[in-house]
Chain A
């Protein structure tokens, strides 16, 4: 299996490691957040533990640790293993991104 790293091109999958579903967004709660502790715990619990675990196309995090050390977001089919797209995480290439965007 090969994964097309947006920076390196196609590479053997053994260069990559997998984290999982990229859809859940990490909630941020400041120490003085007005939300109730239960709400806060529920939100973080949801992020850390619950998964849609879809059979089909899924956005997920891969790390090109055996290559350019970029975190990547792949769209992949969990039934066929087909990669539909692979893009860089927002902070991979931030030197460029920052320039263009802000």
Chain B
């Protein structure tokens, strides 16, 4: 019997060319990272169970899930609002463990949908990140409108995406994107194109530390 091994592959394994691209030679204006090894579960409160779902989430994560377009960071996960009565729980990949824990917590009060492989996570930062984002994202990302912790379900190139802003790094805003896996090759090209004039530093990181 042959050996069966189960390596993972990134949907960006062709599109993502690690390194410095585009204009200039110094520090890139935009840093773009694929975040690999993620776990992602969509949690949808059942009819009339919003409060129970929030309570259960608080118990599991130590924080209430957002009820408006925001992202809340907890110790073990980030909870991102994704629509009425629902949020995404975003965490490092841990086999089935994360999903199983959620399934246990939300049994009977919320429906879950495993999206760990359904989305590709991206991380955009750098001094020109917002200029590049303005080319493909219709959101107003101004500090006063989209501060740290803001989130949105929006459309990028006519497809759904979740966007949230995490803590600033080196005084620069950091934007996180979740896009559909099957679109990610195409969207990566588009985002990279938007960033090239500012200089692009492309790479990937693992969510698992």
- Do A and B contact each other directly (Cβ–Cβ < 8 Å)? yes
A residues bordering B, Cβ < 8 Å?
7-9, 11-12, 14-15, 65-70, 88, 92-99, 102
Q: Distance in Å from the Cβ of A9 to the closest Cβ of chain B? A: 7
Main secondary structure of the interface of B (DSSP, over half): mixed
* Cβ A68 vs Cβ B158 within 8 A: no
A88 surroundings in chain B (CB, below 8 A) = 84
* Cβ B84 vs Cβ A99 within 8 A: no
Q: Distance in Å from the Cβ of A74 to the closest Cβ of chain B? A: 16
* Cβ A95 vs Cβ B153 within 8 A: no
User: Would you call B69 an interface residue if the criterion is a C-beta within 8 Å of the partner chain's C-beta atoms?
Assistant: yes
Determine the residue in chain A with the shortest Cβ distance to B46: A95
B interface size (C-beta, 8 A): 23
Residue among B46, B49, B85, B154 making CB contact with A11, cutoff 8 Å: B154
Q: Distance in Å from the Cβ of B48 to the closest Cβ of chain A? A: 3
> How far is it, in angstroms, between the C-alpha of A76 and the C-alpha of B34 when the chains are bound?
41
Q: List 18 extra interface pairs beyond A67-B153, A68-B84, CB under 8 A.
A: A7-B83, A8-B153, A15-B138, A65-B160, A66-B159, A66-B160, A67-B152, A67-B154, A67-B160, A68-B83, A88-B84, A92-B84, A94-B47, A94-B48, A95-B46, A95-B47, A96-B85, A99-B48
